[in-house]
C-alpha cells in the first residue's frame, strides 16, 4: 500500500512520516532477490552467457505488457501466453518465432494498453 501510495503522490506519503526512499530501496532489493532466484533456476536448466540480459529483459518487458503493469495475475498468465506462443509459433511458422511474440505485444498495446488482466 505504501509503495502504491508513493507512486501516486510522493509528497503526501512523506508528510505522513514514511521514509519513502527507504521503502523504494527495500522494494528494489526484493526485486533483485526474486530475479536472483529465477537466475538460479535458469542456470540449472540451460547454458548461461554474459549477454543473457538482452534476452531476458525483452522477455520480461513483453510479459509485463501483455499481463498489464502492476498485476501479478497478469504477469503469470502473460508469461504462460508468451511461452506457448513462442513454442507453437515456432512450430507453425518456423523462422518467424520471434515475430509472433512481438506481434502479440504490439497488438495488446494497441488494443488494450492497460494489459489483458489489469489490477482491479
Partner 1 sequence: MTLKGKIIHKVCLRKIVEVGILLLLVAIPLGSGCLFSDFYIALFLRVFIFGIMMLGFDLLAGYCGLASFGHAMFFGTGAYVTAIVWKYLNDSVWLAIFIGLGLNTILGYILALLCVRTRTIYFVFLTFAFSQFFFVTANSWRLIGGTDGIAGIPLPTLIPGISLGHRTSFYYFSLGFLVIAYWFARRIVNSHFGRVLRGIRQNEERAKFLGYNTSLEIRKVFLISALFASVAGTLMVGFQPFVPPYYYHWSLSGEFVIMEILGGMGTLVGPLLGAAIVIFMGDILSTWFKEAWMLCLGAIYVMCVLYSPEGVTGILNNVSVVGILKKLLSRFKNGFYLG
Q: What residues make contact with partner 1 under the rule CB under 8 A?
A: 10, 20-21, 24-25, 54, 58, 61, 65, 69, 95-96, 98-99, 102-103, 105-106, 109-110, 113
Q: Nearest approach, Cβ of 45 to partner 1 (angstroms)? A: 25
Q: Nearest approach, Cβ of 61 to partner 1 (angstroms)? A: 7
Q: Are 53 and 67 in contact (CB under 8 A)?
A: no
- Beta strand ranges found along 28-96 (DSSP E): none
Q: Nearest approach, Cβ of 10 to partner 1 (angstroms)? A: 6
Q: Collect all residues with Cβ–Cβ distance below 8 Å to 10 and sequence separation of at least 6.
A: 20
In this structure, what DSSP letter does residue 91 have? Answer: H
Amino acid at each position: 500500500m505504501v509503495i502504491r501510495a508513493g507512486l501516486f503522490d510522493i509528497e503526501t506519503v512523506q508528510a505522513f512520516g514514511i521514509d519513502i526512499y527507504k521503502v523504494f530501496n527495500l522494494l528494489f532489493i526484493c526485486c533483485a532477490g526474486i530475479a536472483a532466484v529465477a537466475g538460479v533456476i535458469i542456470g540449472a536448466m540451460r547454458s548461461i552467457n554474459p549477454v543473457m540480459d538482452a534476452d531476458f529483459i525483452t522477455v520480461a518487458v513483453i510479459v509485463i505488457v501483455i499481463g498489464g503493469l502492476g498485476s501479478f495475475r497478469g504477469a503469470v498468465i502473460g508469461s504462460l501466453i508468451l511461452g506457448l506462443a513462442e513454442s507453437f509459433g515456432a512450430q507453425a511458422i518456423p523462422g518467424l518465432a520471434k515475430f509472433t511474440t512481438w506481434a502479440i505485444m504490439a497488438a495488446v498495446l494497441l488494443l488494450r494498453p492497460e494489459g489483458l488482466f489489469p489490477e482491479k
